[in-house]
Amino acid sequence: MAQVLEFKLPDLGEGLTEAEIVRWLVEVGEVVAVDQPVVEVETAKAMVEVPCPYGGVVTARFGEEGSELPVGAPLLTVAVGEGTAPGGPQQGPGTRGAAEGARARTTESAATGAEQPKAEGSGNVLVGYGTSEAPARRRRVRPVRPEPAASQAGAAVNGRPVRTAEPEGPVPVISPLVRRLARQNDLDLRELTGSGPDGLILRADVEYALRAATAQGGRAAVQQGVADQGPSAPLTGSPVSSAPRPGGIRTPLKGVRGAVADKLSRSRREIPDATCWVDADATELMRARTAINASGGPKISLVALLARICTAALARFPELNSTVDTQAREVVQLDHVHLGFAAQTDRGLVVPVVRDAHARDAEGLTAEFARLTEAARAGRLTPGELTGGTFTLNNYGVFGVDGSTPIINHPEAAMLGVGRIVPKPWVHEGELAVRQVVQLSLTFDHRVCDGGTAGGFLRYVADCVEQPAVLLRTL
């Protein structure tokens, strides 16, 4: 007899709490193999294909394309066991019955506290989530609160609606951010009915409650309308806002754009940054690159040479390859360089990370930059390829600009900016000449070092750009 197993949206890493379903890769009734990708989801970090650790027949899918699911919500159910081999059951009444039976068994087990059967899966899912040897834990069940008769009849005492006693214990909330949002707006979470799995309160539930409170002119809407109706019910009474909404195009801050907005805002709030800059004669660096690429070997990119200069400069000034532990009030100097680089894509600005950049030569850096850039433009970067950077190189010269004061990529301590390389008048060997000039800027966290260290780092980078032979002395 086949056993129906439920596969939930796994933890995608880096504190991500939800994902948007972009494309289903399997249909109900289709046979899937162990570790076969079943759905493509988009998080605030990247596009990810999620593999299913079970092999069998898909009996149900949860969520339409374009909808968002919280981590831990059911993705699909799979019938595993007899009769699930290739060529087995197809989509039809029997399949739908199996799906309904899976839902019923899940609900029954949650209500009775019975243990679910152990899943025989590969365990090869994403960060922080497994399918085998999971620790035993009791599933939290949100009690069903019967509606009081006084409320059904619309009774009131002294002109106020009658409320029932609230259950004891903490309220299940999807993330601390949602709990903080409610606290900042003086909203009692016990008055809400969550729309997530098992009554889990989502950000949308809190935002709906706040909109309803504004529409009704105070807390009465939250206590009576929202708690009774839930986030999916239409608003009644006055409109959401009496003031006219300004015209124009509204773009939700979610996905990559939302993640970038949050990170940059946090950087501005927490990091006391300063910027220094210098013009440098890049003529010799450009000549050196031309000579290297004319030798017949693999082509070397300019950004790879700049990255090689960065890693050499960080070896001399390691204070800039640091992070600040605000809890311990310590500057943590790191012993490896994971070099991030800014890449503009159709989905927004992303910062892929070259792992152990200090251990790679110019050829290896060129290949890794090319691979990550292609993956970024195709939306195939994994969360691991977008996190963990220790220093960022920002080549904004590709946009045709000379200078910038970039925002540090939190929680890093510095970012090197490189403008366009253009012919300019320059005094060379005592005479005025036309040279290839570039502006370099360094934005740094003033907590990790003083201006002397930052200036020394930038001056060393400029010296290597002007005289590439300087770099050879550090190799």
At residue 52, what are phi and psi to the nearest 5 degrees?
A: -95, 130
At residue 61, what are phi and psi to the nearest 5 degrees?
A: -120, 145
Cis peptide leading into 352, omega within 30 of 0?
no
- The residues with which 423 forms a beta bridge, in sequence order, are 436
Handedness of CA 173, 176, 180, 181 (dihedral sign): negative
- CB neighbour class for 365 (10 Å; exposed up to 12, middle 13-18, buried from 19): buried
Question: What positions carry a catalytic annotation?
Answer: 446
Q: How far apart are CA 420 and CA 396, in angstroms?
A: 7
Residue pair 16/383 in contact by the 8 Å Cβ criterion: yes
Residue type, 306: L
Q: How far apart are CA 167 and CA 143, in angstroms?
A: 8
> What is the token pair recorded at 119?
């899943």
> Which of 422, 416, 307, 294 minimizes the C-alpha distance to 370?
307
- The residues with which 8 forms a beta bridge, in sequence order, are 74
Number of H helices, E strands in the chain: 12, 21
Cα→Cα distances 144→111, 167, 231, 383, 428, Å: 11, 10, 17, 38, 81
Terminal-residue alpha carbon distance, the chain: 66
Residue pair 364/354 in contact by the 8 Å Cβ criterion: no
Residues 6 or more apart in contact with residue 49 via CB below 8 angstroms: 25, 37, 39, 40
Q: How far apart are CA 392 and CA 94, in angstroms?
A: 55
DSSP symbol at 246:
P
Residue type, 238: S
> Which of 172, 173, 155 minimizes the C-alpha distance to 164?
155
Q: Can you point out the beta strands (E) in 115-206?
A: 156-157, 160-161
Quick count: other Cβ atoms within 10 Å of Cβ 12?
25
Q: How far apart are CA 224 and CA 202, in angstroms?
A: 19
> Which of 138, 143, 139 minimizes the C-alpha distance to 193?
143
